[in-house]
Structure 1
Amino acid sequence: MQLHSLLPVVIFALSVHALPTRHHERGIFDSVGTLDNVLVFDAPAFPDPANPGNTLVNLQAFVSLRQIDLGPLTSGISAALKTLGLDVGNKLSTVEERIKLFGAIGLSGKTVKATVSGCSAQVQLNGTSGLPDLGMVLQTASLGKCGSGKESIAQVKTSGLDSRTFNATIFNSPNSGFGVISDIDDTVKISNVLDKLALAKSTLLDDPEPVPGMPELYASLAKSLNDPQFVYVSGSPFQLYPFLNNFIDTTYSASKGPILLQNLTLVDIPGLLDFAKSDGVQEYKVSMIERIHGMYPNKKFLAVGDSTQKDPETYGEAFNKFGADFITCSWIRRVEGADNSDERFAAAFKGVTAEKFRIYTDADIPSLANINVAGGEC
């Protein structure tokens, strides 16, 4: 699911599937400094196929100007919510926290250096990009030799004059065993993407709520699949990352993992609503699954999504593209009000045997834990 269709701003954006490193002449302002903010995304790590014993990480960061006045943006959003019948009331601080990255001014040409606990090499991301992905950088870098733990902390510091640190979790996993690729909105989190008013409320005002039974199911999968690599793939914009990351880390603490979101560049903020269409989400998600396949070509993945947008079509395409040895099973939550016709699912999973996908209801969620996915059941 994607949430950017409900943000009360007009966003002119370009979705990208990989952000190239930009080569430029280095200057005194290249390093991240006291006037900058850094968002470091939780990241997947995997064995280096060219150098056994070493670990690679697919690390992403966003560098922006530190001081931003959110007043105009907050006022515009508050007014836009009132047109939907929503009063911000005492939730102004919640709204500001969730939309602050939409007002961030990305900075190009910034070098981000991170140290990772338990690993021998420092990571250097060379040069945040210019337009259209201003301030963003994504690179695969070597961590050298790392300890045996699954989770480690990547830390970015600015300078000796600045006490701030920017941290992210690195999730290390072997190129074997199992993993889980999961959507977020209306798969593990109640977002009500089919209802504009309810989606705006759940995204900007309310405390996030899990789909009942899903935290317990994912905790069960974490055990039955022997500590799989969970990767959350969502069409939502990266500006919502802190909100979604906190939700996954707390509500799904037994099944934490990196979250892959679309890179959307905010260009204009008039006080209007733009309910953007979901065009391109399937292409984006398939490209993210291709990235995961590049890191873990020998893992077997369970793919979990829902019927509100393009998850069935995405997982069906991924199955046919990467094979049954990679996408071994797909589970799709049947959401009331979505297109849940047999014809839709038959077309989405064309070429996929019926034993390789399952359409489930909320009442089925507790029983999913009894399926022996590791043994080949679906």
Structure 2
Amino acid sequence: MASSPTGGSPRQSPIEFEQSLAGPAAYLIHSRVQMRYLDWVSSFLGHKNPRTHKVSKDDLIWLFDNTAFRNQSGAWEAEFVAAFFRKGSGKDLSDAVADLAEKIGVGKGDKAEDTIAERLRPFADVIEPAMTVDVRIGQAGELCLGPSGPSGISSDMHKLPGSGYVDGKAVHPMAILRKNDHRQVKMTTHIAEPDGWAVVSDIDDTIKITMTADGLGIIKSTFADDPKPVPGMPDLYKLIDSALSPTWFYLSASPYNLYPFLHDFRDKYYPSGTIILRDLSWMNIGGLISSLTVNTQEYKEARLEKIHGWLPKRKCLMIGDSTQKDPEAYATL
């Protein structure tokens, strides 16, 4: 075995590392068992669900950036995705944090322990099915997103209200919350006319160092390290953005729980665009490894077909690496 880039221990493949896991971090159970049972059952009914709830101050909501396109009738349309959790509902993470810190060689009391706890939290909070939220798009109008499904995710196609949307620009839908809730929860909707360029970029080991060939490297780069860009890629993407003025899509096999982490990374180093993640969660550390390494080609092929369906006339530049079979997935489009 080769030496691991995360330390002196031998490098383990993702499968070998997953098989070697033991302890609290390995069995960090996602708290979906604490969700309201009737809400979970009714969430399978989708938009026919009679048991839905509006977001309250006790809920945590994420609104995912998206891209608006012209549909067949010429109206602006976009897929709106939201994730719902019960705020502060997760289990005590202290044992899992300590166990994970030991596995990746972080000393007790190290600042990295705080980072681990922060990044584990979205996997521990209770997901909330059957939730809805209204969003306002400036003065144009309002939309109702949801209800969320069994995984706490809602995904809806909506026509944008109003008019005056301009190619290459963006609008910022904002959640309409209750009077006693002063949070500002918003997203970015990128406007894309049918013609022009689009860039579809992988994230892991294409623009962000993730070490997907090394199980320990995946965990360390995801939960403990400051995220690092692949050398030269921020400058390359800045050049592409200036030359082509494309619509950007970042396609990753990571689970949606990593959205805030990846969103902040993208904002720091790369052009703004839509981040597309797997709409599933995981119940242990091995699940994260599987998400990044199992059936990634099939997942990416399906998402590429969706992007192509939105913008079939756009010329497309696809950028990836071989660790998740990006060339094979891209070749099918």
**TM-score under structure 2 length normalisation:** 0.81
Structure 1 pair 313/152, CA: closer, same or farther in 2 (3 Å)?
A: same
2:278 maps to a residue whose letter is Q
Counterpart in the other structure of 1:30: 53
C-alpha separation between the residues in 2 aligned to 1:106 and 1:139? 18
- Whether the aligned pair in 1 keeps the contact of 2:132 and 2:144 (CA below 8 Å) is yes
- Percent identity over the alignment is 30
Cα-to-partner distance string for 1:24-75 (whole Å, 9 max, x where unaligned): 3545x6211121110111111112321x3x311211001111122452x342
Aligned twin of 1:61: 82
Indicate yes or no: 2:207 matched with 1:173.
Answer: no
Which piece of structure 1 moves more, 241-250 or 100-109? 100-109
Counterpart Cα distance in 2 of 1:83 and 1:91 = 13
Residue 47 of structure 2: SS of its match in structure 1?
A: coil
CA distance in 2: counterparts of 1:37 and 1:181, whole angstroms: 29
What are the superposed Cα offsets for residues 210-265 of structure 1, whole Å, 9 maximum, x if unpaired?
Answer: 1111111111111211x10010000011111101010101111xx21010000123
CA contact (8 A) 2:61 2:84 kept: yes
User: Does 2:153 align with 1:136?
Assistant: yes
Q: Which of the residues 260, 272, 277 maps onto 1:256?
A: 272
Q: Could you say what secondary structure the match of 1:111 adopts?
A: strand
Map of 1:283 onto structure 2: 298
Query: In 2, distance between residues paired with 1:21 and 1:123?
Result: 20
Offset at 1:136?
0.6
> Per the alignment, in what secondary structure is the counterpart of residue 85 of structure 2?
strand
Match of 1:198?
217
- Note the aligned Cα RMSD (angstroms): 2.7
Structure 2: state its 5+ residue gaps.
Answer: 1-13, 31-42
Q: Give 1:317 shift.
A: 2.0
The structure 2 residue matched to 1:246, chosen from 264, 289, 297, is 264
Counterpart-to-counterpart distance in 2, 1:172 and 1:20 = 32
Unaligned 5+ segments in structure 1 are 14-18, 319-378
Give, in whole Å, the separation in 1 of the partners of 2:238 and 2:116.
30
Matched residue type, 1:105: V
Question: Which residue in 2 is equivalent to 1:370?
Answer: none
Q: Is the 8 A contact 1:155 1:165 kept in 2?
A: yes
Distance in 2 (CA, whole Å) between partners of 1:212 and 1:83 is 27
1:21–1:138 CA contact under 8 A, matched in 2: no
Number of equivalenced pairs = 297
Q: Deviations over 1:197-217 (max 9, x none)?
A: 333222111111111111111
The structural deviation recorded for 1:163 is: 0.6
Q: 2:229 aligns with which of 207, 210, 227?
A: 210
- Are the counterparts in 2 of residues 86 and 201 from structure 1 also a CA contact under 8 Å? no
SS at match of 1:256: coil
1:43 paired with 2:63, answer no
